[in-house]
């Protein structure tokens, strides 16, 4: 009887520890892949948003010749957001890169908000069919970005909670699971979708 118990202690407990470790590791991988997939959904919507902006600016340029600085600010913010998007998309597990993308998108939303505010003074621009179509597409895309961001943040929260729980945190630290960053917008203006009124 004692030899059976000794064998159980010698082999059973280490085997149980290995099995629990494998289960925890596999769950961490699944949760990390879930938030990476959620980021790819944001990436698709941001790409669409970024593709619409040059057309929007070009259409507005016809009517807003005196607002050159506003239009250039939108393009500069868009280019910075595209660069940050490409960097973050290369490794969505890199928290600082996701933070940089969040800040760049916040700046772009602010620049778009200023463009929309200035465009109110141009009735011909507001009447332009192409501009209306672009604004509707942009508004729809902004809503999709918001939904994708929420799904991503939920996936990150699940991953972080599981990763930080005991004993998962010990295995996560040893096996190199990184902190994930939420996709948050920095400025109050950026938290709101641009208001489109045509």
pLDDT of 156 higher than 90: yes
pLDDT in tens, 10-42: 777 888 888 999 999 999 999 999 999 999 999
Place of tokens 């069919």: 129
Q: What pLDDT shows up at residue 186?
A: 63
Pair of tokens at residue 140: 């729809």
If you count them, how many residues does the chain have?
A: 198
- Band (190; pLDDT cuts 50, 70, 90): very low
Measure the CA–CA gap between 14 and 26, rounded to whole angstroms.
18
pLDDT of 5 higher than 90: no
Mean of the per-residue pLDDT values of the chain: 86
Domains of the chain: 2-191 (1.20.1440.20)
Q: What pLDDT shows up at residue 2?
A: 59
Q: What pLDDT shows up at residue 25?
A: 94
Q: What pLDDT shows up at residue 185?
A: 73
pLDDT in tens, 82-128: 999 999 999 998 889 999 999 999 999 999 988 888 888 888 877 78
The residue-averaged pLDDT of 160-188 equals 86
- Band (81; pLDDT cuts 50, 70, 90): very high
Q: What pLDDT shows up at residue 66?
A: 76
pLDDT of 198 higher than 80: no
Q: What pLDDT shows up at residue 191?
A: 47
The residue-averaged pLDDT of 168-182 equals 89
What pTM was estimated for this model as a whole? 0.78
């Amino acid at each position: 009887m004692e030899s059976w118990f000794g064998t159980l202690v010698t082999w059973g407990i280490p085997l149980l520890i290995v099995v629990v470790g494998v289960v925890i590791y596999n769950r961490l991988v699944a949760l990390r892949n879930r938030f990476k997939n959620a980021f790819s959904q944001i990436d698709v919507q941001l790409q669409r948003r970024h593709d619409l902006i040059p057309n929007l600016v070009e259409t507005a340029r016809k009517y807003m010749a005196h607002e050159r600085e506003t239009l250039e600010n939108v393009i500069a913010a868009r280019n910075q957001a595209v660069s940050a998007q490409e960097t973050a998309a290369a490794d969505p597990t890199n928290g600082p890169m996701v933070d940089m993308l969040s800040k760049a998108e916040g700046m772009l939303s602010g620049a778009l908000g200023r463009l929309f505010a200035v465009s109110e003074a141009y009735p011909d621009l507001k009447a332009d069919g192409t501009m209306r179509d672009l604004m509707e597409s942009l508004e729809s895309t902004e809503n999709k970005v918001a939904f994708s961001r929420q799904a991503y943040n939920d996936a990150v929260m699940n991953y972080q909670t599981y990763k930080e729980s005991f004993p998962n945190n010990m295995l996560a630290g040893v096996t190199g699971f990184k902190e994930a960053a939420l996709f948050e917008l920095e400025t109050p203006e950026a938290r709101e979708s641009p208001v489109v009124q045509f």
